[in-house]
Structure 1
């Protein structure tokens, strides 16, 4: 994405997108967008950051640091009072769910644009997933109920985008709709029925698409924004939209096969904490070092231009 920025984006925007790259690689892009008062639902996407989609990955990264703290605290409580872990974790995540949901509803009504990126207003969504994970082993709905839950969840998920004014509602209480829809599909699981939605979702093409979903999320947004910048358009039309989707799918499959999967199979970093730390630092440096060097080069060039202007035009 930084290469695309260097090649195709207006020079006056480059410094702003460099800082967004740093925010993304350090998992604080959501806060950078919130402070910049970015409107996620802006009609014209051509001025959007090519790193804007990293906001949700940043929230996830922050949760992945917070959740182990909750598990560790629960372990201490269970050890001290000889309590079973599932009820303790259910209470802990239930408290996070209620507190964050109330915060989300109140803040969405007051400042929806900022709250959309606010980690505190999103914690309840992850807490709901954790509560579901705790409950699923104890749930065993009948086959008929699994079929109903699966299709109801899928249809309900699609209807969110059709019926809900997401622009003014998210991430308040209305976000319960898609989350509960997804939960229904998960609880339905494998129905064992030929009429179950799992027969569709478990089909080969959809499974392969699911395998490439992470890469698809990474590549689709910078491709879209770069296209809008190059063509100087506020939105993509039907034909260009289809082309962007197809190109994104192809790149996602390629990236999954030749980048993501080989890295996941790479055992060397997992053999010691020191090796893992080295890999993490190198990954951060691959973005931070070029960005900071680029910024320094621009600063030196600006200073040189200013000095030459004074010398060439004294007084």
Structure 2
């Protein structure tokens, strides 16, 4: 689950997971839906940082950690190469479709003077290095005129996620080997490793944001702590016990904090420093609250069918909404969308996301031909 999906199962317990621990958690899917809606609404109408992307980063590491920790604790092989191939088999179809659509729209609608930059960013997006491309070009993510932005600018977060999806499995494999050699529980080793990543990256992020915020925004090193926090939540979750009333309150506190971050704070020039703890800890509260079984729990809202369905198309919606917005602003010669045309942009993005998920992503994910022979 990311902006790109990883694993839709729930957390394993510390020792022997029960069937309930392995169930799909619809409230997490609903959380993903709210996060992408925050990103889209803030991009289209408010021109501010919502914290939604940061929540996606945390969720992606949270679910990846659950999956790999289960494998290690149950003695199953990690099969890293198969994991990476399967992962990018899921991620790339939607990416390729959007990149081709952007290239076509650029050729038809965007001034030719901007073509070389967009072509460079197409390759950077496809190869998951877009964040470094933008950092090298000193791009201002908070520019008020979105029509002047690249239609592929939003791929910075997907690039960082792709880099982490390569790095994190190596950390799991190394930690498992170290834990076995030292005779220590692998979960303990993972908590220690991700704890160090969290502290060192957060310190770097705070310092870099204070000195060069524009570069820090796209710097993978300044974002690793957000992923590490998601991993730490996943590793600690089996040990966190609270009564249902406490979890009900915790969930609503988390939701309120999550939705209010971008509204209450002008956080643009402070991200991704310590201020990003606001949306991330809010999301962590919702995850820890979990499935309360209470009619008053926030999970009852998040598990509602419309939000779960929105969560299912959240990856494609993130891919589409920004290029649709930017191309429209170029055509309309406007610096920002208004209420009506912004609504049309969102509606078009939803339709494209639904079609991409249904006709491209889902068939490719279930395509058995590549799995029939190892060499494929």
TM-score of Structure 1 vs Structure 2, range by shorter chain:
0.7 to 0.9
**CA offsets, 1:99-131, max 9 Å, x none?**
000000000000000100000000000000000
Correspondence for 2:142: 41
Aligned pair partner of 2:190 in 67, 84, 89: 89
Aligned pair partner of 2:201 in 64, 87, 100: 100
Structure 2's unaligned 5+ residue stretches are 1-101
| 1:270 Cα deviation after fit | 3.0
| 1:211 Cα deviation after fit | 0.5
| 1:13 Cα deviation after fit | 0.5
Are residue 28 (structure 1) and residue 136 (structure 2) matched? no
Structure 1's unaligned 5+ residue stretches are 276-315
CA distance in 2, matches of 1:194, 1:42: 43
Aligned pair partner of 1:211 in 299, 312, 319: 312
Runs of 4+ in 1 over 4 A off after TM superposition: none
Write out aligned runs for 1:230-269 (5 A): 230-269=331-370
Aligned pair partner of 1:154 in 255, 260, 263: 255
Secondary structure in 1 aligned to 2:146? coil
Asked if the contact 2:151/2:327 (under 8 Å) is kept, the reply is: yes
Write out aligned runs for 1:171-210 (5 A): 171-210=272-311
Richer in helix (by share): 1
| 1:273 Cα deviation after fit | 4.5
| 1:221 Cα deviation after fit | 0.5
TM-score normalised according to structure 2 size:
0.72
CA distance in 1, matches of 2:168, 2:356: 29
**CA offsets, 1:50-72, max 9 Å, x none?**
11111000000000111122112
CA distance in 1, matches of 2:368, 2:183: 37
Task: Tell me which of the two structures has the higher relative contact order, counting C-alpha pairs closer than 8 angstroms and 6 or more residues apart.
Answer: 2
RMSD over equivalenced CA pairs, Å: 0.9
**CA offsets, 1:2-32, max 9 Å, x none?**
1111111100110110000000000000000
Aligned pair partner of 1:128 in 229, 238, 242: 229
CA distance in 1, matches of 2:358, 2:318: 15
Correspondence for 2:325: 224
CA distance in 1, matches of 2:200, 2:369: 41
Asked if the contact 2:180/2:186 (under 8 Å) is kept, the reply is: no
CA distance in 2, matches of 1:114, 1:121: 9
